[in-house]
Amino acid sequence: MPAALFILFFFVAIPVMGQEQLVLLKRDRVIGRLTEGDYIYCKMKDRSLREGIINELEEFSIITNNDTIPFPEIASINLRHRRGALPTIGRGLITAGVLYFAVDQVNTLIVDGQEGIDSGVVTASAALVGTGLILIYSKSKYQRVGGGIVLRTIDYTSRFYKLN
């Protein structure tokens, strides 16, 4: 029985150790991670776009099903799965603006002597919703490479390696 477990562990662990990852590092912190099999969108320094499925990660290049992309030619990478704080804050502002307007309308129905829509509430609600929309849609999906952000291909021995 112990021999069977050892063999099972050995054959399961070997493929995991062989998987390399492409990481974007900023001040020794991982801000993006891609592995073999992920779809990648790159803006190049010559302003062209390249995309494809990552087949292999070399030390200084990405081999996709369409092309080989050297790291020094990459200007930015699309990290669609990455969500920052700005969209979250934007959704909160939109919710606050809608709730503020709705609560004021309910208050108008309950309190005697108040009629119509208060222009101050409309202005404040519109400002909250507008600011929230700007925060949601202003963030670029692409992460620029350079200026402290570097691309690295890592393997299982790196401290940045993460099992998926």
Q: Match 């050892």 to its residue by tokens.
A: 6
Q: What is the average per-residue pLDDT within 17-37?
A: 83
Least confident of 9-23, 66-80, 91-105, 125-139: 9-23
Query: pTM for the complete prediction?
Result: 0.56
Average pLDDT of the chain to the nearest whole number: 82
Angle between helices 85-110 and 119-138 in degrees, nearest 10 = 160
* Better-scored residue on pLDDT, 32 or 140: 32
Q: What is the pLDDT of residues 100-143, one digit of tens each?
A: 999 998 888 888 777 778 889 899 999 999 999 988 887 667 77
Residue 144: other Cβ atoms inside 10 A? 14
Classify each residue of 10-45 as buried b or exposed e, where b means 16 or more C-beta atoms within 10 Å of its C-beta. Answer: eeeeeeeeeebbbbbbeeeebebbbebeeebebbee
Q: What is the pLDDT of residues 153-162, one digit of tens each?
A: 888 887 778 7
